[in-house]
Amino acid sequence: MIKVMTKFRVLGPSLMLLTSIITLKGQETVTLSGLLKGMEQWNRLYRVSAATDTVYWLRKSNIKVNYFPKVELNAEATWQSDVTKVNIPMPGISIPTPDNDNYKLTIDVSQLIWDGGATKSLQRLDDESRKLEQNKVESELYAQKERVASLYFGILSIDMAVRQLKAMAVELNKRIEELEAGVNAGVVLESSVNTLKAERLRLEQSIDANFSQRNGLAESIYSLTGVKIDDSDQGAVPYLAIPNQDVCARPDYKLFDLQNGYLTTASGALTSKQMPKISAFVRVGYGKPGLNMLSNEFDSFALVGARLSWSIWDWNSTSRERQTLKIQQNIVQYRRDVYREGCNAQISSALAQIHSLQRQIQTDEKIVELLEKSVKASASQLKNGTITSSVYLSDFNSLLRAKIDMEFHKIKLSQEVVRLYFTLGMSINE
């Protein structure tokens, strides 16, 4: 990195000149694409994405359990008010009367044979749910990337302003030195020198204020990307080609397709819900009575069979759910249309702004060229004492503002192109 230590060098009894002692320790160039890449290893939302995948696989494993045999242990003790009795007298035959208390311990094993596609529908629905959850994380990350880009261009604007202020400070120091010589020779008033010194102090004040603001932006970038930007690091203005596509591919725009896919899958799951379900079962148990209902002895027993279950009437509940899903699909389509119109408006506005900035930069270059000639002439006149320092400062500040405006428009142009890339959902590759 570069450590910048500011100090003043005494040129006269009351003259302090700002200088910079720069120690090279490996200066770095920061790029926007580098910051966005740094987010992948730093930002906590990427950890959320990994956790979401883990939850998905756990849910998927649970759904697959529907295909596995289910084993249940059941115990039951009952007392009944009446029992089966045979009241027909039969000589030589005694038919016992069952006890009123019954006890039963069973192990039930059931195996799903066919569920009408309900389990597969659940799997497909969970797949669509996972896509929605991933898209939510992607949209949040995308918004943070836009935030990083905005902060980065803030730093670029400050660095540009500081460079211009320092360059003008150097120019101002030259004029001060020339006037100091004139004061010593008795041909220039000391008040003229003091006016330039006051202006130099204002420049130094502006530089310091810009550095403070820059540090705040750098801290915000660090919290989002984990990339630390030192005072000495230089930001590179991203120069990207103006895109010629007009199709929005942002993650939050893709959300509408994913929502529609989820609702379509949910509608298909309703059909599976209405289908019959077939399963096989085995029951092994021990109790009193066993399968012989006329016995009062504990006995073991076993049952093997098949079961069919079918909900043939649900009071139109499924029909209403299907209507609800259809209405929700229409709502998604309405929102999608509104979003697309807004996106198209942003694209048109960005392109208009880009073309306007290109024209402004061309005009800025002409203005700077003219003002440089004017300031050069004013500097010569100031040295010869034909104009006052106030007149020179007026020309000087006009040139300073013009240069800052030109560089700001260049950075603004790059920022508008980057913003257009984000609007379209395109990758930032410098």
CATH number at residue 111: 1.20.1600.10
> If residue 366 lies in a helix (H) or strand (E), which one and from where to where?
helix 317-384
| Per-residue pLDDT at 300 exceeds 90 | yes
**Residue 392 within a domain:** yes
Total domains present in the chain: 1
User: 248-277 burial, b for 16+ CB within 10 Å, e for fewer?
Assistant: bebbbbbbbebbbebbebbbbbeebbeeeb
DSSP per-residue letters across 316-343: THHHHHHHHHHHHHHHHHHHHHHHHHHH
Q: What is the pLDDT of residue 63?
A: 94
**Residue 356 within a domain:** yes
**Residue 91 within a domain:** no
User: Range of 227's domain?
Assistant: 2-77+101-424
Q: What is the pLDDT of residue 415?
A: 96
**Residue 120 within a domain:** yes
Q: Mind listing the pLDDT tens digit for each residue in 208-263?
A: 999 889 999 999 999 999 999 998 898 999 999 998 877 888 999 999 999 999 99
**Residue 84 within a domain:** no
Q: How many CB atoms lie within 10 A of CB 181?
A: 12
Q: What is the pLDDT of residue 27?
A: 63
Q: How far apart are CA 121 and CA 56, in angstroms?
A: 15
**Residue 87 within a domain:** no
Q: Which of 196-205, 240-249, 333-342 has the highest mean pLDDT?
A: 333-342
Rounded to 5, what percent of the chain is helix, strand, coil? Answer: 60, 15, 20
What would the two tokens of residue 325 be? Answer: 């899903």
pLDDT band, residue 430 (cuts 50/70/90):
low
Q: Which of 154, 238, 202, 192 is nearest to 384 (CA)?
A: 192
Q: How far apart are CA 402 and CA 410, in angstroms?
A: 12
pLDDT band, residue 316 (cuts 50/70/90):
very high
The predicted model gives 144-158 an average pLDDT of 95
Q: What is the pLDDT of residue 164?
A: 86
| Per-residue pLDDT at 295 exceeds 90 | no
Task: For the chain, give the percent of residues with pLDDT over 90.
Answer: 59
Q: What is the pLDDT of residue 187?
A: 67
Cis peptide, bond prior to residue 289, ω within 30 of zero: yes
**Residue 85 within a domain:** no
Q: How far apart are CA 11 and CA 4, in angstroms?
A: 21
DSSP 98: P
The residue behind tokens 């939850």 is 55
Q: What is the pLDDT of residue 177?
A: 86
Using an 8 Å Cβ cutoff, are 296 and 289 in contact?
A: yes
Using an 8 Å Cβ cutoff, are 398 and 373 in contact?
A: no
Quote the mean pLDDT of the chain.
87
Lowest mean pLDDT among 176-180, 271-275, 319-323: 176-180
Q: What is the pLDDT of residue 73?
A: 97
| Per-residue pLDDT at 291 exceeds 70 | yes
Q: How far apart are CA 2 and CA 231, in angstroms?
A: 8
| Per-residue pLDDT at 13 exceeds 90 | no
Q: How far apart are CA 71 and CA 121, in angstroms?
A: 24
| Per-residue pLDDT at 10 exceeds 60 | no
Q: Mind listing the pLDDT tens digit for each residue in 16-64?
A: 333 333 333 456 889 999 999 888 888 888 888 889 999 999 999 999 9
Q: What is the pLDDT of residue 296?
A: 85
| Per-residue pLDDT at 7 exceeds 60 | no
Pick the more confident residue, 154 or 175: 154
Q: Which of 401, 21, 371 is nearest to 203 (CA)?
A: 401
Using an 8 Å Cβ cutoff, are 378 and 387 in contact?
A: yes
Q: Which of 153, 207, 148 is nearest to 408 (CA)?
A: 153
**Residue 260 within a domain:** yes
The predicted model gives 405-411 an average pLDDT of 94
